[in-house]
Structures are given as C-alpha cells and as structure tokens.
Chains A and B, each alone.
Chain A
Amino acid sequence: MSGVLEDLAQALGTGAVEVVDLTHTLDPDFPVIVLPPEFGQCARFRMEEVSAYDGRGPAWKWHNISMNEHTGTHFDAPIHWISGRDVANGAIDEIDPSVFVGPVVVIDCSEGAAGNDDFELTPALIEAWEAAHGRIPAGAWVLMRTDWSKRRGADYLNMAEDGPHSPGPTPAAIELLLARDIRGFGTETVGTDAGQGAHYIPPYPAHYLLHGAGKYGLQCLSNLDRLPPTGAMLIAPPLKIRGGTGSPLRVLALVPGGKLRGEHP
C-alpha cells in the first residue's frame, strides 16, 4: 500500500498520469445564471486592486475579490436546493473531505448537443454507455460532456424569449444515476440542469433529485473532451465556507496520460 502514492508521484513526473484542468478562468465577464429580474441574482466575479507596488502598498500587489458561491466553475452542496436542506452534513463546510477526490466517468453527449441545444441525457443513453463501458461504479462522479464549454458570449447561456436552451438530464436519467449511487453529477453548462429544466416534473430534476439524495453537483466545467470515459480521478475540493451552499473551485482530473496510453494501447 505504501507504494501507491510513490507510484502516482512517479507517474505524474513522467507524464504517465496527466493533470487536466477542468476549470474556467474566473473572469468578470464569464456568464452566470440569470434569473427573472425580480429575484435576487448571482453576483458576478469582481476584482478590485488594493495596491499594485505603489503608494497604496509599495512592495506588493493584491486584489479584493467578490462573487456568489455559484459563480464560475463551482460545486453545489446539498443544501443549495430545498430538497436537500435537511440532508445531514449538507453544507459545504460539513462535507467529508473524502468526497472531493474520487473516480469519474464521462458520458459523451457532444454529438447530440452539437445538433440540438435542448439535447437530453436519458436513461437509454446511460444504458447504452454502460453497454460499452460497463456499469457506472458506485461513488463515481458522472460528467455529461457536451463541449458546451467551447461556446463563447451569448451562445453559452443561449437565452431566448422562452428562457435558456442548453443540454441536460431528464428526471428519469437522474433517477437512474441515483440508483447507481453516484457521488455527484457535473456539466459544462451554467447549471447541472438543462436550460429548459424548469419545465420538467420535478422542475430542475438534477438539482432537486441529486441534492435531495445528498449528492453533489459540479458545473461550468471545461476540457471534458480530454477525459476518458472511465479510469480518471477527479479532484474537486470547494472552499470551506461555513454554512455555504456551494463554492467556486479549481477542478482537476488525473488522467492516465499519453505515455501510458501509448505504451499500453
């Protein structure tokens, strides 16, 4: 057992295990979820210079930053949703740290999402994926790859007069993932739910069902096209905010990398 981490360190050193960054840059102009204007809104990321090697602080530069818990690439804790408000250890600071490092599987929906902004992840798609890659293991993160993170500007939220249009899971798909006892569900879009997710029963099924079951969410992920369907490890530790419902974070994946894959095709 003592050799596992040494092996990992060596694999990281040689590039046999690659570290892939799944995080968007925190940028003031990165889209956040937009709610009807009479509701409170998600604060955008903001940064103000406190000093920059000048009269305000001669030898140092630093910034004050502000944002919502759900700004940029972020983690959703169970208490984010009403269905998860009574989940034990459901606040971001209460989650067992072992949750933050674990196996990840990726369901590639990029082809479907390329042709249909409202593409749905369905039980049939999950079962087809399992037929190819094996049953989703208990305790795995499940990420829905759509290549949505490659979109820029207004195409990302893709707002229309009838609301945003972006891919996401159906309620039945989430039920199936819960039956597999996953750790959590992640997407490249601004939320774990589809843009039109309000119109499902229950509304926003990913939020409602996942958090009700004490599971976690990751959204605004990027670079999912660099992950294999199975076999990678996700590292996703949020900030430890007392009573927090979520947190911006850096999401990394350890991926059996080029050399290893090259040597053992």
Chain B
Amino acid sequence: MTGKLAPPRKKNPQLRQRVPTLPPQARSRAALGLTAAAARGAFELQHCAECGTVQYPPRDACAACLSVDLLWRATARDGQIIAETRIHASPDSYYRERLPWRAGLVRLAAGPTVLAHLHGEVGRGDRVRMDLKLDKAGQGVMIALPQQRTPDMADDDVLRTLTAHPKHRRVLITDLRAPVTRPLIEALLKAGAAHVFVGEAESWRRGSDHASIAGLDKVSVLPLDVTDATSLKKLAAEIGGKTDILINTARHVRPGGVLGADTVFAREEFETNALGLMRLAQAFGPAMAGRTADGVNSAVAFVNILSVHALSADPHYGAFSASQAAALSISQTLRAEFRASGLRMINVFSGPTDDEWHQPLPPPKVAPKALASCVVEALCEGLEDAFCGDVAKDLEERWRRDPKVLERELQGGGA
C-alpha cells in the first residue's frame, strides 16, 4: 500500500529552491503518438492495418510485415510485469534527483512487451493495469499501476510526477461568479487541496455568491479581474508564489453570429476569454514556472476551460467561438513556453453549459458540477486535453475524423 502523503512543512527560507529539471524529451515522430494519446488520457498503441500486429515501441513501419499502414488504436490495458530493475545511478539530472528509480518490462495482453515506470505498489510477476501519462517533459510514458484502485495510490512518488493532483496544493480559481466555481471548490477540497483562493471581479456589484463562498473553510476570496492587468499584478504580488494550480473560470459568452451584430460583445469576449488568459499567464505564469520542483506543493498546472467550439465554430455563438479559438491558440503557445519548466497547461473542453446563455439549446448540456468533476479529473489524471460531456466528446471525435465535414455539419445541412 502507498503511504499517505504528508502535508508539506513550511519551507526553510534559507534553502535554495530546487530548480526544475526535465526527463529526456527527444522522441521520434512515430513515438509522439504515445504523447498524443497520453494528452487526452487514452491508452493507444500502433496497430498494423495489414497484419494486425500491435507493436511497441512505435516505429514508421510494422516490425512484423513492414507495412507502413499503422493506426493508433485503443488497446487493452492489462499486462504482467515480467522483469523489474531498480536504477541507482544515472547521468541524467532529472533521475539523479529521484534515485533509486524503478522500471520494468510489462508483457501486454495485446502482444508487445513495453518498458514502463512502476507504481510503488507493483513489482515483478504482478498483473497490472497500464496507463500512458505525460511526464514532466510533456512526453507520453508508460506506467504500470495496480489492477484495482487502492486508497492512496495517487500519493505514489512516481505517479505524482505524472499528474497534477490537487492534494496538498493551493489552487487559484479566477472567477467567483462562474457557475462552475462553487462545485469546483468543493471537488478540489474533496481531492485534498490545501487551500482555494477565489478571485472576485467588481465586488461593487452585488448578487454574487460572495458571502457563502468567503465563509467556506480553507477558502479565501480576493479581488481579481482578468480584464484588468493592474488587479492581476496586485494579486500575483500577494499569492503568485503560492499558487500551485491556477484554474481559469472567467468567461464571457453571448449568443449571436457575426453579421447583424457589432463588435461590442465580441470585444468583451476577447477581452475576457483570450486577452484575459494572456494577462493571467503573464501575471502568474513566470512565478508558477519557477516553482515546479518545489516539493509536495510545487506549482503543477494552469487550467483553462474552453468551449469545444474552439475546434470548430458554432455559428450561433460566432464571436464567442472565435474567442475560444483564440484562447486555444494562446494556450498552445503557453504550453510551449511552459515546457521548459514542466508546468502543465490543461485545456478542459466543454460542450454547451447548462446556464443562462444557453437557455434555448436542447440537452445534453454540461452541468456546473459535471464540469467541475472533469476539471479535477483532468488534474488527477494529468491530462493536457480533456473533453467534458457527450457533446464535447462527440465533436472532438468528429473533428479528428474530418474537420471540414464537422464544419459543414455545424453550419446546418448535415443529415
């Protein structure tokens, strides 16, 4: 059994903070298929379309029949550890900090034998459940997990480096007024978050949940407006050094297309959804990126909640969709900029949310509580892209299949 992770002690201010290091980053183009699958929590391997062989490591051709027609397919996760080794010396600075390190060979039920990191609860001979995770370098790696969930398995040292688990971490949620914020606070605290800071814009407007949220245990409400760089600068000066996870719930959405409207709402949408993300990252990103190796409560993730229409516009929410596409693009640049630090940029894509701005839309819509669960799950699993709800999952799948077909279907005229 994994020992319970103890809450971190207060830092010794005379000790130099550990500088972030990364595991090896280089991968072949073929191997990036593992990364792509890990990013969205899938377990996929190359399947040969001609002879059906499942192969590992990924290559440009089938090792059995030399076909280049290789498809990344969901693959059964079960396997058995046939060998394990404990590494006591490494020239790699990332692993040197973490020695000894256990690795093993796992024979998958699907065929191939893979090299994997080992969860502390599994060893040679054990039947295991395999997972693909992103490591600190943002590359897909295999880990062998216990077949059945155990109570504190997320506290395992190795798993902890592959996820962005909120346990013992301090979280900033940017917008108190967002419907998802309340259930998100509850879900984070349930997952073991040490403290939740909640940003509130324009406290001079009443009608928010201020009192009920400010009264919660382990929660502080602080002034923050993603459209106001001054407020961000102020807040980052206060809590930038102890924000381990940032979850951006600020969002401006208004229905309507592009023709027949002006750009007033669109400007507000871009100010909040796209430029707001930039301002947040500029204010909090550097301090977070500097603290990714800072012990149990190191900075670990920057979470952005997007509409799945960032991928393909919903013409009924034209300007809003554009702001989401812009935010997605910004998040990709941020991901590249955070790469050297290991800070994870997580995008949670949602279908239409069950709120005042999506009233006429038929179900299924994503309830605030469901969205909150998706966010916490994305953190616990260490995803980069999470798709929340049936609509988002369906759209993502259609988008991967053929973006043009999806675009035409969203314009109407699909069957």
Q: Are A29 and B264 in contact (CB under 8 A)?
A: no
* Interface presence of B228 (CB below 8 A): yes
Q: A46 CA to B231 CA in the complex, in Å?
A: 11
- Smallest CB–CB gap between A178 and chain B, Å? 32
Chain B residues within 8 Å of A47, by CB? 230
Chain B residues within 8 Å of A159, by CB? 205-207
- Smallest CB–CB gap between B356 and chain A, Å? 8
Chain B residues within 8 Å of A31, by CB? 202, 204-205
Q: Are B204 and A157 in contact (CB under 8 A)?
A: yes
Q: Are A40 and B205 in contact (CB under 8 A)?
A: no
Q: Are B228 and A46 in contact (CB under 8 A)?
A: yes
- Smallest CB–CB gap between B286 and chain A, Å? 16
Chain B residues within 8 Å of A38, by CB? 254
* Interface presence of B314 (CB below 8 A): no
Q: Are B205 and A154 in contact (CB under 8 A)?
A: yes
* Interface presence of B244 (CB below 8 A): no
Chain A residues within 8 Å of B228, by CB? 28-29, 44, 46
Question: Is chain B's interface secondary structure helix, strand, loop, or mixed overall?
Answer: loop
- Smallest CB–CB gap between A245 and chain B, Å? 14
Q: Are B206 and A160 in contact (CB under 8 A)?
A: yes
Q: A153 CA to B207 CA in the complex, in Å?
A: 13
* Interface presence of A109 (CB below 8 A): no
**B208 nearest CB neighbor, chain A only:** A154
Q: A29 CA to B201 CA in the complex, in Å?
A: 9
**A153 nearest CB neighbor, chain B only:** B204
**A49 nearest CB neighbor, chain B only:** B229
Q: A40 CA to B229 CA in the complex, in Å?
A: 23
Of the candidates A28, A34, A40, the one whose C-beta lies within 8 Å of that of B230 is A28
- Smallest CB–CB gap between A189 and chain B, Å? 13
Chain B residues within 8 Å of A161, by CB? 207
Of the candidates B204, B207, B223, B265, the one whose C-beta lies within 8 Å of that of A40 is B265
* Interface presence of A208 (CB below 8 A): no
Of the candidates B202, B229, B262, B356, the one whose C-beta lies within 8 Å of that of A29 is B202
* Interface presence of A10 (CB below 8 A): no
Q: A162 CA to B393 CA in the complex, in Å?
A: 41
Of the candidates B203, B227, B229, B231, the one whose C-beta lies within 8 Å of that of A153 is B203
Chain B residues within 8 Å of A7, by CB? none
What are the 7 closest A-B residue pairs judged by CB atoms, nearest first?
A31-B204, A28-B228, A159-B206, A154-B206, A40-B264, A153-B204, A154-B204
Residues of chain B whose beta carbon lies under 8 Å from any beta carbon of chain A: 202-207, 223, 225, 227-231, 254, 262, 264-265, 268, 356
A-B contact pairs, 16 of them (CB 8 A): A28-B225, A28-B231, A29-B204, A29-B228, A29-B231, A37-B356, A38-B254, A40-B265, A44-B228, A46-B227, A48-B229, A49-B229, A153-B203, A156-B204, A157-B205, A161-B207
